[in-house]
Chain A
Amino acid sequence: MKKLFPLLVVVAAVMFACAPTMILNTPYESTMGLVQKIFYFHAPLGMAMFLAAFVSGIGSALLLFTGRPRWDRWAVAGAELTSIVGLLVLVTGPLWARRAWGAWWVWDPRITSTLVMWMIFNAYLLLRRYGGLGSEKLAAAVALFGMANVPFVYWSVNVWRTMHPKTSVIPTLPASMGTTFWFCVAAILLVTTVLIMLRVELEKRRQELDALYLAAED
């Protein structure tokens, strides 16, 4: 995996750098025009947020069941990325909404549930930072609640009446828009994966440092 990592970084960086050119050459949407182009990063970032939440939730579940510290690294990395990517989703969405709906923010089920999910993962990070010894297990439970939110966020647009585009928008994209969209999805998911792996490495080294401190004290 370590040998594959540099290749993954290069592919992710090249794809991420090429994405704006592809977006620029994609046709405008008929009613929203240029501002709809935010969609090519906004929706994939939403998917990346779900990916990071799943990594954190599954890592937390495995930590609770096995007690192995290695799973904690994935839980922390996933939670931090959920917070970072979630922030991007929550900022790019209103920029699009301001033009498309005429309002920066509406208390729409999709937007509100995304905000709640983002706050749960921020609560996780605050708990890890200030919770003291043993907070990782309590935080793991918080991450599980955060992950449980993902299906609600995803299906909220189909279940409740909402201004947000439905999930059916993506499978029905014409080829001219679909190619760019799926390229951006691949680029952003790859970048998120690289960042999660980088963050896991940091957590691994931190755990090693803690073990060294303990050895030095003995």
Chain B
Amino acid sequence: MKRFVMLALLVLTLAVPLAAQKPAAQDEFVPVTGAPAGAQETIPAQRLVGIAYGFIWVVLFGYVWSVRSRLSRVEREIETVSRRVPERK
């Protein structure tokens, strides 16, 4: 899981600048019959605001959950190892 997260982080770090490159300049116009579907395209502001706030909440809750689960895993491991330490003494 950790490896997967780190790999995803690496891919994301490398991919963002590439994905964010300016689109290549258009060198020809292709005609279509009638108005293209996207001619009136505008993204409603509500959707953008909703996505922004939803994303923030999901990421923050996900992070809290991730830290809590990592913490409880470490606690369990500490318990197991500390039982082994006095046995050896």
Contacts and interface: CB of A to CB of B under 8 A. Distances in A.
Interface of A: 20, 33-35, 37-38, 41-42, 45, 83-84, 87-88, 90-92, 95-96, 98-99, 105, 107, 115, 119, 122-123, 125-126, 129-130, 191, 195, 198-199, 201-202, 205-206, 208-209, 212-213, 215-216
B82 A212 contact: yes
Contact of A88 (B59, B70, B77): B59
Chain B interface helix/strand/loop/mixed? helix
A88 B78 CA distance: 33
A122 B78 contact: no
Interface of B: 2, 6, 9-10, 12-13, 16-17, 20, 22, 43, 45-46, 48-49, 51-53, 55-56, 59-60, 63-64, 67, 70-71, 74-75, 77-78, 81-82, 84-85, 88
Chain A interface helix/strand/loop/mixed? helix
Contacts of B56: 41, 45, 88, 92
Nearest to A215: B85
27 contacts: A20-B53, A37-B49, A38-B48, A38-B52, A84-B60, A88-B59, A90-B16, A91-B52, A91-B55, A95-B48, A95-B51, A99-B43, A115-B20, A122-B9, A122-B10, A122-B12, A122-B13, A125-B6, A129-B6, A191-B60, A195-B60, A195-B64, A198-B67, A205-B71, A212-B81, A215-B85, A216-B88
Given A38-B48, A205-B75, 11 more contacts: A38-B49, A41-B53, A92-B55, A96-B48, A115-B20, A119-B16, A122-B9, A126-B13, A195-B64, A215-B85, A216-B88
Contacts of B59: 84, 87-88
Contacts of A198: 64, 67, 71
For the complex of A and B, list the 7 residue pairs with the smallest distance between their C-beta atoms, beginning with the closest: A34-B45, A35-B45, A212-B81, A92-B52, A122-B13, A95-B52, A105-B20
